[in-house]
Amino acid sequence: MSTELRKHKLDRAFTHIDVDGRGQIERDDLLGLGARLLVGFGESPTSVVGDRLVRSFDAIWSALTAELGRDNDAWISNAEFHAGMTGAFVEGDMFEPVFRPAATAVAELCDGDHDGRIGVAEFRVLLSAFGTAYDDVDEAFDRLDRDRDGELGLAELVEAVRQYYTGDDPHAVGNWLFGPL
Amino acid sequence: MTPASALTSLTSRVPALAAPCRMHRSVHAIEAAVIDWTRRTGLQVDRRSACHRLAARAFAEFDARAAALFAQWLTWLFHLDDLVDEEGQPYPRLFAGNGAHPLEAAFTDLWRATSATMSDDWRLRFATNLQRQADACRAEADNRASGAVPTIAEYPALRRGTAGPFLYDLVEPCLGVEVPPELAAAEQWQALVDSCADVAAWCNDLASLAKERGDAHNFVVVAARELEVGEAEAVDWVLDRIEERCADMRAAAKRLPLGELPRRTARDVSMVACAYLTAPRAHVDWAAESERYT
């Protein structure tokens, strides 16, 4: 059951990158997601936060392809994506040095006023870049906002990212990161 | 503060310019492609400008062929600038030329390689912006002949024209995408293009001030004359304007209606927008390593 849950979440994560539904992705697709995020927030790739996001997304792709024994320019199928993500970030030890910095960069991008908090408006911009339907954003936000103060802390969002991409717990709030599964 | 150090100071002053552009990992292959193309088309190889490094920074995350094609267009533009600004020659006939001048032949070569996969809408946009540059260059030449100096209000549009507004159209064929015509014509998109172009052009004015001494077509000179201040104060004034325009860049990008576009289109136009947002810092980095203005 738990493995099925993670598989379901990674299937959706694959569609976040594979916007054409081709069934395979390349480095430009992941960097394209990064570009969509940056522009949504008006952030330049040459700001500190923007640069951090681009570099960390690039590092995720490198870790993924390295885990699969492929070069950086390779195309990756959905099955390979599952294998790479699981090998590098779930069973392997690459989450902390590679994936967490990317999650942190995304959280910092959402925190445009640098107050350490993310409101629902910023969260909507974030999820819009991933293709989450407008009506699902509020529900996702409410699930993640456990203390009901109308804001998410950066650490809360990063933990939700960890739970979504690597967790098996069916009760983890991070499963709601991109709306109902 | 000298104009050159003022340019460098922007990187600590403006958040959008804080991080250096990465250098394309194939920068040497890009340089070789530019030299090969330059010789093939009969233009002189210009190692001092090192325009391949500007393209390699602006397109660091993209395919090397994209960066090489953009670098070839930059090479062509620099030759055109030198012809018009320094030699005082008339703007060449490009679409209607007979290819007799190397610049005309080089244009024909680049146009063929660039436009093959692009729509008529894009071709019209490019041609319109090429004409804008020709018109702006003629206006500058007329100013030089009559001794006229543009006002602060007139200068940004004139400078946007002489900088080559078609360069921003070239990002699309280089990346193999196309901005939908209705978005390209939208106020939000134009605001993004214009603000990025202004920041890059005004940074260029700071970098080139020493070399262009005596020419009134520089924002520092225009500001000093109209505000009746010295060069140092005018440089500070231009820095303030650059900082304001960087805020405009951010605001314009945020206003793009990405959520109304199909997901693939939203990704494609985001890649183009990111290339625009990268252009100013790429310009700052390149100005520091190029000998074009020394």
pLDDT at residue A44 above 90? yes
Binning pLDDT at 50, 70 and 90, where does residue A2 land? low
Domain residue extents for chain A:
4-167
Radius of gyration (C-alpha) of chain B in whole angstroms: 18
d(CA B257, nearest CA chain A) in Å:
9
Q: Report residues of chain B scoring pLDDT below 50.
A: none
Best B57, B59, B61, B199 residue to mutate vs chain A (most A CBs within 10 Å): B61
Q: Do A46 and B277 touch (CB under 8 A)?
A: yes
Percent of chain A with pLDDT over 70: 99
- Residues on chain B touching A44 (C-beta within 8 angstroms): 15-17, 249-250, 277-278, 281
Interface of B with A in 202-221 (CB under 8 A): none
What residue in B sits closest to A133 (Cα-Cα)? B259
Residues in chain B: 294
Query: What's the CATH number for A4-167?
Result: 1.10.238.10
pLDDT at A1: 44
User: ipTM of this model?
Assistant: 0.95
- A70-104 pLDDT per residue, tens: 999 999 999 999 999 999 999 999 999 999 999 99
Select the residue of A20, A41, A44 nearest B249 (Cβ to Cβ): A44
Inform me whether the C-beta atom of residue B174 falls under 8 Å from chain A C-beta atoms: no
What residue in A sits closest to B257 (Cα-Cα)? A40
The 8-class DSSP code of residue A86 comes to: I
Is the backbone of residue B89 left (phi > 0), alpha (psi -120 to 50) or beta?
beta
d(CA A2, nearest CA chain B) in Å:
30
Is the backbone of residue A74 left (phi > 0), alpha (psi -120 to 50) or beta?
beta
Give the contacts of B123 (CB within 8 A, at least 6 positions apart).
B115
Select the residue of B21, B61, B250 nearest A31 (Cβ to Cβ): B61
Q: Do B250 and A40 touch (CB under 8 A)?
A: no
pLDDT at B6: 84
Q: Do A46 and B263 touch (CB under 8 A)?
A: no
d(CA A173, nearest CA chain B) in Å:
26
User: pTM score > 0.80 for this model?
Assistant: yes
Give the contacts of B261 (CB within 8 A, at least 6 positions apart).
B180, B183, B269
What residue in A sits closest to B20 (Cα-Cα)? A46
CA distances (Å), origin B7, targets B40, B77, B180, B217, B287: 35, 22, 35, 18, 9
Cα separation, B227 vs B224, whole angstroms: 5
d(CA A169, nearest CA chain B) in Å:
30
Q: Do A35 and B253 touch (CB under 8 A)?
A: no
d(CA A31, nearest CA chain B) in Å:
8
d(CA B20, nearest CA chain A) in Å:
6
Inform me whether the C-beta atom of residue B249 falls under 8 Å from chain A C-beta atoms: yes
Best B183, B277, B286 residue to mutate vs chain A (most A CBs within 10 Å): B277
Helix (H) or strand (E) run with residue B154 in it: none
Exposure class string for A52-82: b at 16+ Cβ within 10 A, else e: bbbbbbbbbbbbbbebbeeeeebebebebbb
pLDDT at B99: 67
- A118-141 pLDDT per residue, tens: 999 999 999 999 999 999 999 999
Burial of A83 (0-12, 13-18, 19+ CB in 10 A): middle
